[in-house]
Structure 1
Amino acid sequence: MYGYQLRSAFEESTGGTWPLNIGQVYTTLSRLERDGFARALPGQDSQRPYEITEAGLADLEKWFTTPVSRTERPRDELTIKLALAVTTPGVNVTDVVQRQRSATMRALQEFTRMKAREHGPGDLSWRLVLDAMVFQAEAEIRWLDHCEATVLRHRPAHPTPTSPAAPDPSTQEAHSR
């Protein structure tokens, strides 16, 4: 396939969820060629098709059969945002959580609408990607509920004032006599 065909096949398989920059596709193809996992075939005009090599097939099989590691987690902007909100004076953490929950709920509703649309049997890969997005949104909403409850347990919503209590009128009356 040509780079553009590879990009199209990837985006079709994932429903366009993670669009690829064509420059990155060709950079990756060059690296795969350098490492012996792909080879360029004679092309027409300025386009060069690529094919996977035996070493590439072996590496691809290894990739498919190796579980994804959870030890090196990618940065999670929402987790970072909430961790910093808890430690930053003046930030209403509950408001941050509620705004995110609303946005995630809207996304979940859109994913559900997308699932309801008729899909053909060739859309199985897209259906799996969509299911993953639904499950991740549902998990995020549960996690946000947990965060809100935890924050409220550790920080009352309306802290009691630290000023001295107003004098009891009956005590004042007794002192004035």
Structure 2
Amino acid sequence: MSVRHALLALLSEGPKYGLQLRQEFEARTGEVWPLNVGQVYTTVQRLERDGLVESDDGEAPGPQKTYQITDKGSAELTAWLTTPPADSAPPRDELLIKVLVAVRLPGVDVGSIVQAHRRQLIQTMSGYARLKENAAEDDFELLLVVDAELFRLEASVRWLDVAEARIRDLPPATATAAAPVRRTARSAG
């Protein structure tokens, strides 16, 4: 997620100070992604360095330094909003890597690994489903976040189903044939 661009979006509504940016970011993302106030200030300083925002340099009354988006920042925000995410290369998915590695390890019950991950994913889905049931109907941001997570988790469960079927169809020798030879201190001699 681009915190940088989310902060630009918030600043496009008008000037804000750092703590206000953090609070509004969390509210807009359904309070699912907590944001450290230090990260806000570091990001805003970089945005200022890059000419995307400007500050009042503490000239306003009170202790809060406010930031506002520049024309360059507005153009950057528009470009980000209208550019599809780069999904050309598969992401480094830890679950995928675990299954790929486990398939080639001798003596590993890949089926039990797949089942353990499936149980965890379904348990997590149940938690999100309860969160969705208890959410206020007008909590639009939270409901969108929960829907996205439910679809993502469901896709992972479906992938595990396909992976398990493919693994079951592997000839027994295939899983261990590509495994590297383990050398012990005695055999490395």
Report the TM-score range of the alignment, normalised by the length of the smaller protein. Answer: 0.7 to 0.9
RMSD: 1.6
1:134 matched residue in structure 2:
150
Runs of 4+ in 1 over 4 A off after TM superposition: none
The within-5 A match list for 1:1-177 is 1-43=16-58, 44-45=62-63, 47-121=64-138, 123-155=139-171
State how far apart, in whole Å, the 2-side matches of 1:155 and 1:108 are. Answer: 33
Larger Rg over CA atoms = 1
1:16: how far off? 2.6
Which sections of structure 2, spanning at least 5 residues, go unmatched? 1-15, 173-189
SS class of match (2:167): helix
SS class of match (1:154): coil
- Counterpart code for 1:61: T
Q: Compare relative contact order (CA 8 Å, sep 6+) and give the higher one, 1 or 2.
A: 2
User: Structure 1 residues 53-62 or 70-79, which shifts more?
Assistant: 70-79
User: Structure 1 residues 3-12 or 98-107, which shifts more?
Assistant: 3-12
CA shift in 2, pair 1:149/1:38, >3 Å: same
What is the number of equivalent residue pairs in this alignment?
A: 154
Which sections of structure 1, spanning at least 5 residues, go unmatched? 157-177
TM-score normalized with structure 2 length: 0.75
1:155: how far off? 4.7
State how far apart, in whole Å, the 1-side matches of 2:140 and 2:171 are. Answer: 46
